[in-house]
Structure 1
Amino acid sequence: MLPPAFRSSGDLLADRRYDYAMAAKADGDLNAAADLLVQALEIAPGWAAGWFALGEVEAGRGAAEAAAQAYRRALAIDPADTLGARLMLARLGMGDPAQAMSSAYVTALYEDYAPRFEEALRRRLSYRGPEMLLDAVTRACAASGRPLRFATMLDLGCGTGLAGEVFASVAGAIDGVDLSARMADQARRRSAYRSVQVGDLGAFLAARDGATADLVVAADVFIYCADIGPILAEARRVLTPGGFCAFTVETHGGNGVALGAALRYAHGEDAVRAALATGGLEPLVFEPAAIREEAGRPVPGVAVVAAKG
């Protein structure tokens, strides 16, 4: 589903044909949907969302090349790729999945999602990522003889502040960052955070002095990062000696990093362990963790707590 800001072409006739096309698509009549979208785009040829929708319909009826052409038109109009056209091209085998995720896409996704984020994640998807990470951190502290107390925690991709709220009892000060301003606004309303910034998590880490945080948490964030090695290396730099980095990833049974149908990255165990080695972090906890459900089924994942030596 496209964010609301991208549904209108600015032309009433084109919008009506789009609406009829979406109704036809919902009824399973992809041929009619494609015809109606072509009509809409004849009226509004500079409408990125219309081309993106046509790409989805063409892909649905097995016309991969036509779908790719439509996605490329959307990308030419919207080079920041707010709609995720590169991701769709990668799914068609016509682009590098590792380079397909744009910050503009993730930002738009969560700007739209923010008002209903917690209800959807907690109630419909049974999301328990922060709680699972706190449990893993607690066990890592016990095993290493470290007190369960962290003077400064960084919350990467803090969203509405779920992780901050869960970790507040063991962290003295929590600083968060998120790409979405609307998500960050909700996090600021919680008493858990000292500060919440809007921006990229890599830049957020790079701007901090070294050895100034005791705990870095990334709950359900790396699903939008193909290569997490550089992020883990930056996390290590900002951690104090003996500090922890705790994170979750979605995973799959094979090797490497895969872009799934839900347009999220799943990291194989080999990829996660390689990223930890690149980042110079020693895993203390590395265990299966289904942090959410989809269609009533657990999504395979891994919870990791790693230490800076």
Structure 2
Amino acid sequence: MVKSIKGEKADLAPKEYIEKLFDGEAENFEHHLVDQLHYCLPKKIGLLAVNLLQHLPVAEGKVALDLGCGTGLIGQALKPWVAEIHGVDLSKKMLDQAKKKEIYSQLVQGDILEFLEENHLNKNYHLITAVDVFVYLGVLEKLFSAVACRLAQAMKSVFLFSVELLEDDQVDYQLLPTGRYAHSLGYLKKLSAEHGFTVSHVEPTSIREERGQPVPGVIMVLNLS
């Protein structure tokens, strides 16, 4: 937070910070986020699924991975389109809330990049989501590489994520005074091309409200080329 206020560079938020932050917010997380900050990404992801994810029918073997799954809001939106969903999150207390929804067949407490790189559960996923997750990660190269590896064997696979939008395309990412990261479209498109993805959908959206003002962002859908 000191670095964010001073405008100093930091590649990502420390795992200990994220875990402690969300453990403390878990019980009231959905009320605060949805009712007070007007968080609308789960609803928008659900609407996107109707048009973009119909090629992932509910069938044996269609498995989704929800990175930074939190209390399961995105899992709820995606459940009709896949047979099985796995969730990963640093916060045990957030996972406890997600478990109550009975959406996920597997819930793992851990770092999302370590989970992807360790080939945990030995699964090749048809859909990987990271919604409102990259706000805690600045550098995304390793993450994109790991996602591409986990999608590589799946036919018609999809990587769906959101970011807070950084308007300056000359800058890859920036740590904001809120302690969250914003990313530029130029950076995301460059990473997509470098890791074999085709950008199939870019949707400008408001992520949530901050002091009564909408926070600009985008939802992106990538397919392996």
Same fold, judged at TM 0.5 (above): yes
Give 3-state SS (helix, strand or coil) of 2:32's partner: helix
1:159 alignment partner in structure 2: 70
Determine whether 1:196 maps to 2:110.
Answer: no
Give 3-state SS (helix, strand or coil) of 1:245's partner: strand
2:182 alignment partner in structure 1: 266
The Cα of 1:191 is off from its aligned counterpart by 1.3
1:227 alignment partner in structure 2: 139
User: What is the CA–CA distance in structure 1 between the aligned matches of 2:197 and 2:141, rounded to whole Å?
Assistant: 10
1:135-184: CA deviation from partner (whole Å, max 9, x where unpaired): 23432346xxx355471000000001111111111111110000001001
The Cα of 1:282 is off from its aligned counterpart by 1.0
Distance 1:134 1:111, change over 3 A: same
- The within-5 A match list for 1:143-222 is 146-149=55-58, 151-208=62-119, 212-222=124-134
Determine whether 1:289 maps to 2:205.
Answer: yes
User: What is the CA–CA distance in structure 2 between the aligned matches of 1:220 and 1:195, rounded to whole Å?
Assistant: 20
- Measured on the aligned residues, the alpha-carbon RMSD in Å equals 1.9
User: What is the CA–CA distance in structure 2 between the aligned matches of 1:90 and 1:262, rounded to whole Å?
Assistant: 7
Letter in 1 for 2:63: T
Given the two structures, how large is their TM-score scaled by the length of structure 1?
0.66
> Which structure: larger Rg?
1
Higher helix share: 1
Q: Identity of counterpart residues, as a percentage?
A: 30
Given the two structures, how large is their TM-score scaled by the length of structure 2?
0.90
Determine whether 1:252 maps to 2:166.
Answer: yes
Give 4+ residue runs of structure 1 displaced > 6 Å after superposition.
none
The gaps in structure 1 that reach 5 residues or longer are 1-86
Asked if structure 1 preserves the Cα contact closer than 8 Å seen for 2:136 and 2:180, the reply is yes
2:50 alignment partner in structure 1: 138
Asked if structure 1 preserves the Cα contact closer than 8 Å seen for 2:135 and 2:164, the reply is yes
The gaps in structure 2 that reach 5 residues or longer are none
2:155 alignment partner in structure 1: 241
1:15 alignment partner in structure 2: none
Distance 1:234 1:284, change over 3 A: same
Give 3-state SS (helix, strand or coil) of 2:39's partner: coil
1:96 alignment partner in structure 2: 9
User: What is the CA–CA distance in structure 1 between the aligned matches of 2:49 and 2:198, rounded to whole Å?
Assistant: 14
1:171-227: CA deviation from partner (whole Å, max 9, x where unpaired): 111100000010011111111110110000011112227772110011100100101
Aligned length: 218
